[in-house]
Amino acid sequence: MQDTQKNLYKEHLRRGEIIILFLSNKYALKNIKNATGYDGELYAAHYLMKKRYKLVDARYTGRFGEIDLIVRNKNFIVFVEVKLRKNKNFGTAGEAVTYSKQQKIVKTALQWIKTYKCDLQPRFDVVEIYTELGEINHIENAFA
């Protein structure tokens, strides 16, 4: 993704202006054959905002890795890993978040907390998206 496109994406997410046609219902998600990780992040951001989370940052890149979405509610700052899969034939999307990936996310989250001086309790979630099934699963406290 080009830098200008990435910055535009971040700006749209910060303002809550998700402009993608398939976000209006889950059935349209079934028709997306070429959905990418970027599409999944947009869908997950929209889903979480509907659950009353506030979007703080997207695609945050730090020294140790990248965090797909950072959202908050009144009690937690939530670091979200988004996994998009066609179906569950080869296991769940959440299973793709390996221990080493979890450690990178935790280290990157600590860097973000230190940089932005956040005093909310951190939490690590995974959002699984299955395009064939039109299904989204939000796994709270997926790892620590």
Render pLDDT for 98-140 as a digit per residue (tens, 0 to 9).
999 999 999 999 999 999 999 999 999 999 998 888 889 999 9
One-character DSSP codes across 26-46: HHHHHT-SS--HHHHHHHHHH
User: What is the distance between the alpha carbons of residues 30 and 13, in angstroms, rounded to a whole number?
Assistant: 23
Q: Answer yes or no: is pLDDT of 30 > 70.
A: no
Phi-psi domain of 76 (left: phi exceeds 0; alpha: psi -120 through 50; beta: other): beta
DSSP reduced 3-state for 1? coil
Identify the domain containing residue 14 by its residue range. Answer: 3-143
DSSP state of 131: T
Torsion of CA 130, 43, 55, 142, to 10 degrees: 0
Question: Which CATH number do you get for residue 19?
Answer: 3.40.1350.10
Give the pLDDT confidence of 60-72 residue by residue, as tens digits.
999 999 999 999 9
> pTM of the predicted model, to two decimals?
0.78
Would you state the pLDDT for residue 95? 92
Q: Work out the angle between the directed axes of helices 37-50 and 3-15 (0-180°, nearest 10).
A: 10
Per cent of the chain over pLDDT 90 is 58
Q: Answer yes or no: is pLDDT of 42 > 90.
A: no
The structural domain count of the chain equals 1
Output the average pLDDT for the chain.
81
Would you state the pLDDT for residue 111? 96
Q: Answer yes or no: is pLDDT of 17 > 80.
A: no
DSSP state of 90: T
Helix segments in 24-142, DSSP class H: 26-30, 37-50, 99-116
pLDDT band at 36 (very low <50, low <70, confident <90, very high): confident
